[in-house]
Amino acid sequence: MLITRFGHSCVLVELEDARILIDPGIFSSQEAFRLKDLSAIVVTHQHPDHIDRTRIDVLAAM
């Protein structure tokens, strides 16, 4: 397992067969919003520091 932090609350968890992005909020680094081949995006709650609503659809489509 590999865990990469992208600022504030955003982390990428990489397992053998999955890539899970957790809490890609407004304070996350730009690299988090360029990730591809995600298995899932997890949002722990709906505050802007945990979800950037303007970019979540773009992430989900990648």
Work out whether the CA dihedral 16, 12, 33, 45 comes out positive or negative: positive
Amino acid at 15: L
How far is Cα 34 from Cα 22, in angstroms, rounded to an integer?
Answer: 14
Q: What per-residue confidence (pLDDT) applies to 35?
A: 92
User: Cα–Cα distances in Å, from 38 out to 10, 18, 20, 61?
Assistant: 14, 7, 6, 9
Per DSSP, the chain holds a count of helices (H) and strands (E) of: 1, 4
pLDDT digits (tens, 9 = 90+) for 3-62: 999 999 999 999 999 999 999 999 999 999 999 999 999 999 999 999 998 888 888 887
